[in-house]
């Protein structure tokens, strides 16, 4: 793995800008993960070797995982984290397995991806139920916040700071 870059270094900014050119959402997810706000992230769209190398240069551990969908087609996911433990847990649980949206799996994925458990449970029972966030707050999250969440409001300032950093890069 390439030595990780300092967040304030020109090299880090250049790396972030290159990822942003691939996909802004990927760059945002990478920043959230690199800053430790998300223990693990999953990218479900294609990413080439250059994109993987850029993620690694940001200090992220990456892994491609193949899974199947109900019709039998194989899909490729890219997972990344600052911790090899989360990568290993995800790989052991999901590599080569069909995509599963059961409540048990959604709770486990919610844990791995750093989603508040109350939000995961509410999403399982009532997906996209009305919550108390304004649309600008909800759009910067990777989970759907539950109505009276006590955790999400504590996360929002950190998410917003990273979103602003990305916007200014």
Please give the radius of gyration of the chain, using alpha carbons only, rounded to the nearest integer: 16
Please report, in angstroms and rounded to a whole number, the separation of the first and last CA atoms in the chain: 24
pTM of the predicted structure, to 2 decimals:
0.92
Q: Which residue has the higher pLDDT, 50 or 5?
A: 50
For residue 63, list its beta bridge partners.
79
Locate 86 and state its tokens.
Answer: 């989360």
- According to DSSP, the residues that pair with 64 across neighbouring strands are 78
* Spacing of C-alpha 123 from chain mean position: 17
Taking 80 as the threshold, does the pLDDT of residue 141 lie above it? Answer: yes
Token readout for 6 is 């300092």
- Reading the block at residue 59, the tokens are 């200090």
Q: Is pLDDT at 127 greater than 70 in this prediction?
A: yes
Nearest to 58 by CA among 124, 118, 2: 2
Residue-level pLDDT at 12: 85
Question: pLDDT tens-digit profile of 7-61?
Answer: 778 888 899 999 999 999 999 999 999 999 999 999 999 999 999 999 999 999 9
Residues in contact with 14: Cβ distance below 8 Å, sequence separation at least 6, in sequence order: none
């Amino acid at each position: 793995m390439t030595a990780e870059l300092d967040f304030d270094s020109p090299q880090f900014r250049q790396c972030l800008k290159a990822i942003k050119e691939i996909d802004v959402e990927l760059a945002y997810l990478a920043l959230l993960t690199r800053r430790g706000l998300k223990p693990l992230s999953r990218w479900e769209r294609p990413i080439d070797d250059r994109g993987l190398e850029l993620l690694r240069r940001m200090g992220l551990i990456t892994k491609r995982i193949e899974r199947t969908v109900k019709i039998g087609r194989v899909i490729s996911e890219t997972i990344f984290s600052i911790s090899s433990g989360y990568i290993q847990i995800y790989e052991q649980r999901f590599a080569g397995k069909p995509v599963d949206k059961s409540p048990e799996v959604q709770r486990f994925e919610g844990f791995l991806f750093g989603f508040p458990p109350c939000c995961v449970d509410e999403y399982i029972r009532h997906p996209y139920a009305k919550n108390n966030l304004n649309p600008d707050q909800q759009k910067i999250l990777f989970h759907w916040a539950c109505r009276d969440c006590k955790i999400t409001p504590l996360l929002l300032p950190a998410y917003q700071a990273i979103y602003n950093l990305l916007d200014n890069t």
